[in-house]
């Protein structure tokens, strides 16, 4: 075991204890991949700021005391679920308590032909070989210890399979509730979305906290898009001020497949989102949009990594952040154009609005281009509210605070306006308005 | 309505207005003309309360109040309106949203009820018609991607919505083609009333063919150096501003 292992000993021990009870234990390929992930976890340890990809994000608040991996059976109050529901959203819904599927709180009636939605654990029980073979296929290499930890504990989460040429006409919402087991627990959901050739779907992955406690959710979602498949993937993190969330979205796109992903981070003590996309065949399109709000002492880190493995693919990234108080955010956008990926068209854009002198942003675009006929552009801005615009609004009778709020909301709305689902869009707009309340946009005394 | 006495203003330590006097009565339209750098825009901005201008002397009284002691939004609610020389683009804020907030802020200030959606829309439609603007314009972001003419028209539209007591139009004519100029002037003329005063800040006489002023003032070296009726504008048009700069005696004689 290497030096990193010290901060994972408790998790390794917990995995060894829990492993025989994990779904489909005894399936050779799955046993092997869990064991391999555990080995990776031992070797990698949990990341620290010595790792280049975690340079600006300290995990000390997470590693200072180990979390206990939750087990199935924690009760999830149905009342909380109904309070958390998005108004007007007509969706199939899967609810998870600390990562475990709650069929009785889920809405899966009348699923159309060609649409399979279920708990991953249940499916692993019934079709262990087939599902085990799919798991990990969008992952590629393991970028850091949290991902390895998730893979070592693969047990429950959401499984969505859409048959070829099937259009799912309602969104599918995955609602992850942390804190059902109490303070100090860790949830490790693993999701798998398999889009058949020419299929279309919208998936919402929401992470919320039951209470403001020291909690960790470490979630991994694998998205596999066959040729011509089209997936809208909307990630939302509404983590409690003391809660931690580390999430990974790993996507693999076939020929002419389309992925439109949005990641909206409303709150949380530390939220780290990894988004890794592989454009594996010609004509693929991936767009990653993000909005992050970091107030109080919140830390939000978005780490994107798009690899163009084939010619004629398009990627777009548009991330915006609003930071106030002592909020800290990181945007690291890596784009790799592999040899032979000619005619790549890639644009990356990161804009940040700093509302206080103590807020901090680290933004790092990183382009690695190994092909010679490509179009790649990137840009990052960090700024404050435009005083000319503030005065313009004041000259129309709007007071300074209201003007600042109006401009801040407009800045954030730009990303939310790209969300196609009206109910989700208005819900997130309302949430953002609440977050960007007068206290949040007030000017810090200088 | 407005009484400016011995106003002295500096910007970054440089004196721009230097003992300016100006009085505008109710219902009057005054044109302020003058060469570039004479302080025309400074005057407009100081009236509106923009930051970055240090008033080092003199006073500005508006409807009997000390205007300079009021924050910009209070001035607006009291009835001062500035049509910007360079209207600001505000991506993400729809015109209709800005107007609603602005109109209701002013109504609340006056102790009136906020307009409900129906009454607001009725008012908006009426004013859109005045400026020959389409309704879809309401849902576009404030000035974003507007042509120069659309921006200026939008300023006058906002003015029509807010119904100010004193409107200061800062080079509203610049960058307008003749058709747009007529529309803008038509809007301003429609808003002329015995209890609303207008200050037109302009470099050219052209605007005054369409909005006929009661008084014309020439601003040079930070002061009003000459005042007259609308014929003064024609004179300036014929002679240019050269005399103001080259003939100090003309200045002192004025």
Q: Are B91 and A382 in contact, with CB atoms under 8 Å apart?
A: no
A445 assigned to some structural domain: no
Residue A150 forms part of a structural domain: yes
Percentage of chain A with pLDDT > 90? 93
Position A5 scores a pLDDT of 64
A422 part of a folded domain? no
Whether residue A440 is contained in a domain is answered as no
Test mutation, B47, B52, B70, B72, chain A, max A CBs within 10 A? B72
User: Which tokens go with A27?
Assistant: 């399936």
B71 and A387: CB-CB below 8 Å? no
What stretches in chain B show pLDDT beneath 70? 245-254
> Residue A305 pLDDT more than 60?
yes
Give the gyration radius of chain B's Cα atoms: 18
Q: Does A400 touch chain B (CB under 8 A)?
A: yes
Structure confidence at residue A446 (pLDDT): 41
All residues of chain B having their beta carbon less than 8 Å from the beta carbon of residue A394 are 49, 71-73, 76
* pLDDT number for residue A140: 80
Nearest CA in chain A to B44: A395
d(CA A317, CA A367): 13
Residues of B in contact with A402 (CB under 8 A): 101, 105
Q: Do A399 and B87 touch (CB under 8 A)?
A: no
Q: Whole domain around residue A147: which residue ranges? A: 3-386
Say whether pLDDT at A3 is over 60.
no
Residue B84 near chain A (CB below 8 Å): yes
pLDDT in tens, A50-67: 999 999 999 999 999 999
Per-residue H/E/C for A58-127: CCHHHHCCCCEECCCCCCCCHHHHHHHCCCCCCCEEEEEECCEECHHHCECCCCCCCEEEEEHHHHHHHC
Pair A278, A257: CB distance under 8 Å: no
Q: What is the mean pLDDT of chain A?
A: 94
Substitution target in B41, B48, B70, B73 with the highest count of A β-carbons within 10 Å is B73
User: For residue A165, is it within any domain?
Assistant: yes
Using the Cβ of A388 and the Cβ atoms of chain B, whether some distance falls under 8 Å is answered with: yes
Amino acid A1: pLDDT: 41
d(CA B34, CA B218): 5
Residue A162 and residue A154 in contact, taking contact as beta carbons nearer than 8 Å: no
Q: Which domains does chain B have, with CATH numbers?
A: 2-253 (3.40.50.300)
Report pLDDT for A108.
Answer: 93
* pLDDT (average), residues A235-249: 97
B166 min Cα distance to partner chain A (Å): 13
- Using a CB-CB cut-off of 8 Å, the residues of chain B touching A415 are none
Residues B93, A74: Cα–Cα separation, whole Å: 45
- Give chain A's domain count: 1
pLDDT band for position A4 (cuts 50, 70, 90): low
Torsion B223-B225-B229-B235 (CA) sign: negative
Residue A126 resides in a domain: yes
A392 assigned to some structural domain = no
State the Cα angle at A237 between A234 and A240, rounded to 5°.
Answer: 165
Query: pLDDT of A334-387, one tens digit each?
Result: 999 999 999 999 999 999 999 999 999 999 999 999 999 999 999 999 999 999
Inter-chain touch A387–B84, beta carbons under 8 Å: no
Mean pLDDT of A168-191: 97
Q: Which residues of A touch B109 (CB under 8 A)?
A: 397
Please tell me the distance in Å from A72's CA to the nearest CA on chain B: 45
Instruction: Tell me the per-residue pLDDT of A114-135, one tens digit each, with 9 for 90 and over.
Output: 999 999 999 999 999 999 999 9
CB-CB under 8 Å, B72 with A388: no
Joined together, the tokens standing for residue A193 give 């979305």
The string of pLDDT tens digits covering residues B50-95 is 999 999 999 999 999 999 999 999 999 999 999 999 999 999 899 9
């Amino acid at each position: 075991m290497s030096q990193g292992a010290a901060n994972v000993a408790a998790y390794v021990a917990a995995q060894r204890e829990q492993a025989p009870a994990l779904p489909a234990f005894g399936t050779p390929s799955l046993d092997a991949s869990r064991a391999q992930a555990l080995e990776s976890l031992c070797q990698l340890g949990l990341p620290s700021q010595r790792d280049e990809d975690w340079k600006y994000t300290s995990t000390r608040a997470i590693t200072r005391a180990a979390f206990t991996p939750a087990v199935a059976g924690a009760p999830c109050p149905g009342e909380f679920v109904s309070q958390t529901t998005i108004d007007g959203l007509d969706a199939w819904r899967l609810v998870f308590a600390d990562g475990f599927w709650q069929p009785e709180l889920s809405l899966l009636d009348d699923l159309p032909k060609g649409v399979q939605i279920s708990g991953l654990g249940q499916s692993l029980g019934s079709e262990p070989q087939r599902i085990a073979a799919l798991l990990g296929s969008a992952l590629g290499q393991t970028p850091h210890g949290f991902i390895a930890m998730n893979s070592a504990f693969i047990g429950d989460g959401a499984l969505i399979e859409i048959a070829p040429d099937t259009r799912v006409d309602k969104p599918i919402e995955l609602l992850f509730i942390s804190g059902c087991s109490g303070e100090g627990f860790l949830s490790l959901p693993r999701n798998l979305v398999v889009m058949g050739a020419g299929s279309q779907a919208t998936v919402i992955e929401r992470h919320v906290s039951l209470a403001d406690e020291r909690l960790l959710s470490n979630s991994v979602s694998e998205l596999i898009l066959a040729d011509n498949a089209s997936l809208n993937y909307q990630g939302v993190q509404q983590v409690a001020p003391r809660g931690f969330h580390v999430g990974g979205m790993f996507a693999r796109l076939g020929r002419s497949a389309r992925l439109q992903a949005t990641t909206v981070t409303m709150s949380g003590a530390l939220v780290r989102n990894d988004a890794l996309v592989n454009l594996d065949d010609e004509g693929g399109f991936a767009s990653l949009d993000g909005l992050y709000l970091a107030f109080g002492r919140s830390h939000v880190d978005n780490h994107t990594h798009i690899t163009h493995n084939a010619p004629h693919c398009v990627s777009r990234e548009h991330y915006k952040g609003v930071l106030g108080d002592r909020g800290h955010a990181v945007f690291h956008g890596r784009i790799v154009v592999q040899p032979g990926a000619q005619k790549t068209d890639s644009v990356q854009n990161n804009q940040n609005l700093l509302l206080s002198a103590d807020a901090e942003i680290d933004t790092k675009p990183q382009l690695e281009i190994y092909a010679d006929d490509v179009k790649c552009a990137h840009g990052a801005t960090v700024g404050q509210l435009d005083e000319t615009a503030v005065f313009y609004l004041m000259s129309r009778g709007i007071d300074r605070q209201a003007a600042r709020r109006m401009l801040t909301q407009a800045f954030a709305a730009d990303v939310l306006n790209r969300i196609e689902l009206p109910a989700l869009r208005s819900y997130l707009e309302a949430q953002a308005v609440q977050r960007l309340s007068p206290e949040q946009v007030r000017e810090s005394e200088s | 309505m407005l009484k400016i006495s011995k106003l002295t203003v500096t910007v970054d330590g440089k004196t721009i207005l230097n003992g300016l006097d100006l009085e505008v009565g109710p219902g009057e339209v005054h044109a302020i003309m003058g060469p570039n750098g004479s302080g025309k825009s400074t005057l407009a901005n100081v009236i509106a309360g923009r930051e970055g201008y240090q008033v080092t002397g003199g006073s500005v009284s508006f409807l009997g109040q000390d205007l300079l002691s009021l924050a910009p939004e209070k001035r607006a609610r009291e009835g001062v309106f500035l049509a910007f020389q360079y209207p600001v683009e505000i991506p993400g804020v729809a015109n209709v949203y800005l107007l609603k907030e602005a109109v209701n802020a002013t109504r609340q200030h006056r102790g009136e009820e906020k307009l409900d959606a129906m009454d607001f829309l009725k008012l908006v439609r009426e004013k859109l018609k005045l400026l020959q603007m389409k309704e879809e314009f309401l849902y576009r972001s404030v000035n974003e991607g507007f042509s120069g003419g659309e921006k200026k028209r939008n300023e006058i539209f906002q003015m029509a919505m807010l119904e100010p007591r004193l409107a200061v139009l800062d080079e509203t004519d610049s960058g307008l083609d003749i058709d747009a100029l007529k529309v803008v002037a038509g809007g301003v003329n429609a808003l002329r009333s015995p209890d609303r005063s207008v200050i037109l800040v302009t470099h050219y006489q052209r605007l005054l063919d369409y909005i006929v002023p009661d008084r014309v003032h020439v601003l040079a070296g930070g002061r009003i150096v000459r005042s007259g009726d609308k014929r003064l504008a024609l004179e300036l048009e014929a002679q240019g501003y050269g005399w103001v700069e080259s003939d100090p005696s003309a200045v002192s004689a004025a």
